[in-house]
Amino acid sequence: MTEIRWHSRAGQGAVSGAKGLGDVVATTGKEVQAFALYGSAKRGAALRAYNRIDDEQIFDHAKFMRPDYVLVIDPALALTDDITMNDKETTKYIITSHLSKDEVIASIPALQDKTDRVYVVDCVQISLDTIRRSMPNSPMLGAFCKISGMFELDYFLENMKRVLSKFPQKIIDANMEAITRAYNEVK
Amino acid sequence: MQDLKLKAAEKRGAHQLGGDNLVGWDEVTQGIVLTSFDGDATGVSHKKAEERNYSDFNSYTATVASWRVMKPVFNIDVCIDCQNCWVWCPDSSILSRDKQMLGIDYDHCKGCEVCVEVCPTNPKSLLMFSEYEDLGNALASWPEKKKKEKK
Amino acid sequence: MAVEFEVNEREVWDGNYAASQALRQADVDVVVAYPITPSTPIVENYGAYVGNGYIDGEFIMVESEHAAMSGCIGASAAGGRVSTATSSQGFALMVEVLYQASGMRLPIVLNVVNRALAAPLNVRGDHADMYLGRDSGWLQMSAFNAQEAYDLALCAFKIAENHSVRLPMMVHQDGFITSHTAQNVYPLSNEAAKKFVGVMNPVDDMLDFSRPVTYGAQTEEDWHFEHKAKQHKAIMDSASVIDSVFAEFKELTGREYNRVETYDMEDAEVCVIGLGSTVESARVAAKEMRKEGVKAGVVAMRVFRPFPYEEVREALKGCKSIAVTDRSSPGGAMGAFYNEVAAAMMTSQSRPLVTNYIYGLGGRDLSIENIKTIFREQQANADAGYITTDIQQFTNLRGPKLGFFKTERN
């Protein structure tokens, strides 16, 4: 089982991101779960979204998980939220920030002994450049694609086009560009 | 005028309300659903009451005549067919057809006196009499027109 | 004529979306709704299907849940296939009218996305609303995941509308845990679903002008008892129809449903019995306990009303110690579910040890580790031959341990 925890603010698209990821993973024949921990949260409130991926039907409905990947799509939450909670020795972190990887690690004490498992990409700037608004979920999917090696980029792009098919072509194209850029830029 | 043949044949006043045959749980209708008519009731609203095939569940087939102590008696000679009593009667017991007042439905009239109260004629065309008062005697004792009191 | 909505063989849907797709495929005629979190998307999506021409139905927004269920009653009595969805406070406001629907034997399908009842205000899942409806004369089924929320909604129409049943039915799913968790769902094709559910064949429909009927007549002491007895008998007898609809569904999809589900129970000595999404987590915990040498199993209530006493007894007959899990604040008694199971087991040959766990109120997480602790306590009971803990305990609660009532021992 692969488990993923998203740290995000309401409105940044973590829930849609988790569902979109689930949708694409399901096409590979795997079983998926995508859910979020939020309630009457307003835009800007911190929330967590979760994915589980497995070959068998997933029966675990607990929110508790020891994530394999932690995806942080809000730069400030990387500093204020407990992003290393319940982690494992192999947990990989993908953090969105305009800072360099060294600067990010230097500012988050909890990451000191995990430096080889931390990846940084500026999802906010990429989304501003491509989608024209701060929507860091799509770029994060591109970065995840690269770090996890779960899919080829082309396969992922093709399937995301299907997930986004209800949107205008312009928005789909912008999302494809965002995913591709993050895939190439994550370090 | 009270003996007009308006009763729906044998179905009318078939049973006393509340005096039903009390069947067991296995025989009551599903969901307390009650049918109004026996058989196909298509177009029933265009039929006269006496032509309708009312079911035993329809209140039309039950009588409350025994609830009455006083009864209204109708005097056709005074009536102006204004339909006021027909409008006000709470038990739909004023028999009227083509806006012609015909009489009282004594199976369903409870003797509440509302019809007498609302009757505008002088003297009134409806008056209360004892339940056992003979119709002929009642009509014979009808009061005269009241004269306006001079100031 | 409705526009065809395309569904794939494999979708990633959450429980709400899955339930709304079932309403679309079942060709529901009327949905009367006053949406409430977390069930909102079910009726919202139905409204969109109507608006976008995917279904020839009617979506009616009203001013309260009381009005919503009242509208459903009118539409159902008129002869339509009717459904709606609600949660929590909305369910509570609906309660008065729930009894009207079941008393009039109207086959309405209510999707209940379980949520806690305030105060304190809480939008997350527990079973307080479900328990509030348990004496309302409705049939109640529990879905443990999004797939089941879809499957059971389809089955519900077929069960409720069966002429020997003619009772309204609730399909329960856990708020957020099921309703907002997207997972793989394998829907039927539109055609197959439509064929399975079949055409609504109304009884005593008010729009049949050749046979006018009265609904909701007043009965006093002379008739009321007989009508309620007949209704209770119909609820009890619906079990065989539920079984046959489940059998038909299995033939069509390969997915098997039973009124009482059993997992790893063949040789189980200790078990957890529950309903809702917790069941699946408990299955994971039981598997892990077996690796520790504990003969653990899980029993799940698929159908809560009519309560399957005999099937529960059969499922639990080999067990030495049973943990009954209630996800509702018990309000001064044992959990309601505990009382049902205890009644079934009190009259069994084996008379196993039965304890009560209150858990997950207001959406509090129940982890695999929490459930394993419950299993370990059951094993301790089985080894000792008596209940070693309080009979009722609160699980995963902060503060001093909270429990009540002990076994009487010399």
Q: Is the pLDDT of residue C377 over 90?
A: yes
Q: Do chains B and A touch (3 or more CB pairs under 8 A)?
A: no
Span C11-253: which CATH code?
Answer: 3.40.50.970
Q: What is the pLDDT of residue B19?
A: 55
Q: What is the pLDDT of residue A43?
A: 83
DSSP code of C305? Answer: E
Min Cα separation B43/chain C (Å)? 8
Average per-residue pLDDT for chain C: 96
Q: What is the pLDDT of residues A105-141, one digit of tens each?
A: 999 999 999 999 999 999 999 999 999 999 999 999 9
Size of interface B-C (CB pairs under 8 A): 66
Element containing residue A36 per DSSP (H, E): strand A31-37
Main-chain phi, psi angles of A47, to 5 degrees: -145, 165
Mean pLDDT confidence for A82-96? 96
Check CB contact under 8 Å for A26 and C176.
no
Min Cα separation C336/chain B (Å)? 28
Domain residue ranges in chain C = 11-253, 260-404
CB C94 within 8 A of CB C68: yes
Q: What is the pLDDT of residue B8?
A: 45
Q: What is the pLDDT of residues C325-342, one digit of tens each?
A: 999 999 999 999 999 999
Domains of chain A, start order: 2-185 (3.40.920.10)
Q: Is the pLDDT of residue A146 over 50?
A: yes
Q: Which two tokens mark C379?
A: 């094993």
Mean pLDDT confidence for C396-403? 96
Check CB contact under 8 Å for C184 and A59.
no
Q: CA dist C306 to A152, B80, C256, Å? A: 51, 64, 19
Mean pLDDT confidence for C30-39? 97
Does B17 contact chain C (CB < 8 Å)?
Answer: no
Torsion of CA C88, C94, C100, C104, to 10 degrees: -70
pLDDT in tens, chain B (151 residues): 344 444 444 556 666 665 567 889 999 889 999 999 999 999 999 998 888 899 888 888 888 888 899 999 999 999 999 999 999 999 999 999 888 999 999 999 999 999 999 999 999 999 999 999 999 999 999 999 888 777 6
What share of chain A in percent tops pLDDT 70?
98
Confidence (pTM) = 0.90
Residues from chain A contacting residue C14 (CB–CB below 8 Å):
19, 34-35
CB C90 within 8 A of CB C123: no
Q: Which of C161, C163, C210, C220 to mutate to test the interface with B (most CBs of B within 10 A)?
A: C210
Poorest-pLDDT segment among A25-29, A37-41, A145-149, C137-141: A37-41
Pairing of strands C11-13, C182-185: antiparallel
Chain C residues whose C-beta is within 8 A of a chain A C-beta are 10-12, 14, 37, 122-124, 145, 174, 176-178, 180-184, 277-278, 280-281, 283-284, 365-369
- The CA-based diameter of chain C, rounded to the nearest angstrom, is 74
Q: Is the pLDDT of residue C291 over 50?
A: yes
Q: What is the pLDDT of residues C248-276, one digit of tens each?
A: 999 999 999 999 999 999 999 999 999 99
Q: What is the pLDDT of residues C95-128, one digit of tens each?
A: 999 999 999 999 999 999 999 999 999 999 899 9
Domain residue ranges in chain B = 7-63, 65-131
Q: What is the pLDDT of residue B4?
A: 45
Q: What is the pLDDT of residue C195?
A: 97
Span B65-131: which CATH code?
Answer: 3.30.70.20
Q: What is the pLDDT of residue C218?
A: 87
Mean pLDDT confidence for C302-317? 97
Q: Which two tokens mark A90?
A: 């192999």
Check CB contact under 8 Å for A60 and C280.
yes
CA–CA dist A60, C284 (Å, integer): 7
Q: What is the pLDDT of residue B3?
A: 44
Q: What is the pLDDT of residues C191-225, one digit of tens each?
A: 999 999 999 999 999 999 999 999 988 888 888 99
> CA nearest C215 in B: which residue?
B33
> CA nearest B26 in C: which residue?
C230
Top CATH class, C260-404: alpha beta
Q: Is the pLDDT of residue A11 over 90?
A: no
Check CB contact under 8 Å for C213 and B25.
no
- Across the interface, which of A27, A34, A64 has its CB nearest the CB of C182? A34
Give me Rg for the CA atoms of chain A: 15
Q: What is the pLDDT of residue B6?
A: 46
Torsion of CA C45, C51, C52, C57, to 10 degrees: 80
C147 band by pLDDT with thresholds 50, 70 and 90: very high
Mean pLDDT confidence for A5-27? 91
Asked if the interface predicted TM-score (ipTM) of this complex is over 0.90, the answer is no
